[in-house]
Structure 1
Amino acid sequence: MKQWLLVFIGGGIGSVLRYLVSKSFNTYFTHFFYLGTFLVNILGCLLIGFILGLSVKGDYLSENQTLLLATGFCGGFTTFSTFAFEKHALLTAGELFHFSFYLMASIIMGIAAVAFGLWMAKMA
């Protein structure tokens, strides 16, 4: 039950923060690039790489801390469903270039951010 509560708390905090970032940044870039969603997803990739890298490295994070931060916070902070919805919106608006750019940038930067987070944890 304690582990469920940790995931719940981390997810709630991550979701609220995602909402604030998305609301702040998506207002300026709607219709061609959803910067808020992009930022939370890339930052979430960096954080989860760092968090999981630390948890694998040794005694840096307990199982409960990893659940709170990786599963809870990063799970609530990042959003695949919004990412997919925004891609659909760009496609239906006929924005093929923006769709392709956003899709590729998100995938490439996301994987690079996870790798960088893992590297940072290894260096810590």
Structure 2
Amino acid sequence: MIGVVALGGALGALARYGVGLAAPARPGGFPLATFAINLLGCLLMGVLIVLVTEVWSGHRLARPFLGTGFLGGFTTFSTYAVDGQRLLAAGRVGVALLYLVGTLVGALLAVVAGMALTRAVTGTRFSERAGNGGSR
């Protein structure tokens, strides 16, 4: 189990690093790469959670590999905090607040959107889960 999570985490961290290289933030500028990574990761987590809890009973290692591993390595709370601190230190209070609050609100909305989109595409409903474990 540890190896599966570690492999997923390494792959997710490499993906995040690649996005950061492709879209580096300007000093004092809005950290768009980290913002996009965290929102995309939350959207994908919403998709994953519906798939593994309501749609299919995939391999027992799928959720730790993809969720805790890959998406845990892909998203980054620590960089989010450091980016916010750097914006504040640069006197960019408005940008910092937009980034900090926007990430939190956007992340929650992304999870909900990922779950709703996956349910719409797969034809499952949350209420089905309680009754029969969802569509299989």
Task: Report which of the two structures shows the higher radius of gyration computed on alpha carbons.
Answer: 2
Partner of 1:92: 89
Task: Verify the 8 A CA contact 1:7 1:73 in the aligned structure 2.
Answer: yes
Aligned equivalents of 2:36, 2:92: Cα separation in 1? 20
What does residue 4 of structure 1 align with?
2
Query: How many correspondences in the alignment?
Result: 121
The alignment yields a C-alpha RMSD, in angstroms, of: 1.3
Matched letter for residue 19 of structure 1: Y
Following TM superposition, the consecutive aligned residue runs of length 4 or more in structure 1 with deviations greater than 4 angstroms are: none
Alpha-carbon distance in 1 for matches of 2:65, 2:112: 21
Q: Deviations over 1:41-92 (max 9, x none)?
A: 0000001111011111042533311111011000000000000001000111
1:76 aligns with 2:88: no
Percent sequence identity over aligned pairs: 34
Structure 1 gaps, min length 5: none
Structure 1 CA distance, aligned partners of 2:19 and 2:95? 21
The normalised TM-score by structure 2 is 0.83
Q: TM-score, normalised by structure 1?
A: 0.91
- Give the C-alpha shift of residue 119 in structure 1: 1.1
Looking at secondary structure, tell me which structure has more helix per residue: 1
Give 2:117's aligned residue.
Answer: 120
Equivalence for 2:22: 24
User: Can you give the 5+ residue segments of structure 2 that lack an aligned partner in the other structure?
Assistant: 123-136
Is this contact kept in 2: 1:22–1:35, CA < 8 A?
no
1:106 aligns with 2:129: no
**Which stretch shows the higher mean deviation, 79-88 or 18-27?**
18-27
